[in-house]
Amino acid sequence: MISLRNLSLYGALLFLFQGLVACDAAPPPDQVKQTQQMASKQNAEPTRLVVAFGDSLYAGYQLDPKDGFAPQLQAALRKQGFAVSVLNAGVSGDTTAAGKARLNFVLDNAPQEVEMVILGLGGNDMLRGIRPEETRANITAMMDELKKRRIDVVLTGMIAAPNLGADYASKFNSIYPDLAKEYDTPLYPFFLDGVVTDSKLMLADGIHPNKQGVSKIVTGIEPVIASALKANE
């Protein structure tokens, strides 16, 4: 569960570091293209494919490739006996609109049939003050596409900074639980829960987790993913 203390600390940190959102500015087209090409050319293994589809929190910002969310989650799931590959489809700077625009490309060019997508977008929308209605509409469109393709989804949520106002927070924070209920999909309510409030688990920017922070995130979310994979067996 996300404590009120963690919520307030998270909000304060976001307020202090919103000026650093430029480090997550939308990447140039060449970077997006390169990320997509890497996804489409990855050597397929005889495993179940999970796609981690998000922004810099998923991409492994400033981390060694093996220390990001996707590789650490893959290792944790394999340790539990799941024959699974987790594809890193995170792009730094992605808003929900950018994610919606590239989702079909990633799915169509995956190295094998995609069984599950872990969907984690919206943080950059919030940092840019994009209307929650737009964020909700974009995530809904992605959920609809995944449902149409019969791909399972695990949704990971974010929380609005208090300085954006109670009305904004109410509209933004309700997006993830509402959609999880509507689409009957598992929800990990706050991707950075228990991490963003601990400086030892964060990079110097105070926004992105370090290797140890990612490890704690994986510890929290792995049972949710494992349960969803078991339900598919």
Active-site residue 205, yes or no? yes
State the Cα–Cα distance between residues 184 and 80, nearest whole angstrom: 25
Locate all alpha helices (DSSP H) within 42-79, ordered by sequence.
56-59, 69-79
118, 72 Cβ separation under 8 angstroms: no
Which one is catalytic: 55, 56, 94, 152?
56
Give the 3-state secondary structure of residue 56.
helix
List CB contacts of 202: < 8 A, sequence separation 6 or more. 195, 196, 208, 209, 210, 213
Active-site residue 208, yes or no? yes
Active-site residue 56, yes or no? yes
State the Cα–Cα distance between residues 108 and 174, nearest whole angstrom: 30
CA–CA distance from 229 to each of 23, 139, 179, 207 (Å)?
A: 34, 22, 20, 30
Return the structure tokens found at 223. Answer: 């049972």
- Region of residue 41 (left: phi > 0; alpha: psi -120 to 50; beta: else): alpha
Sequence-ordered strand ranges (E) for the chain: 48-54, 84-90, 114-120, 152-156, 187-188
Which one is catalytic: 108, 144, 205, 227?
205
Which one is catalytic: 94, 193, 208, 215?
208
**Which residues are catalytically annotated?**
56, 205, 208
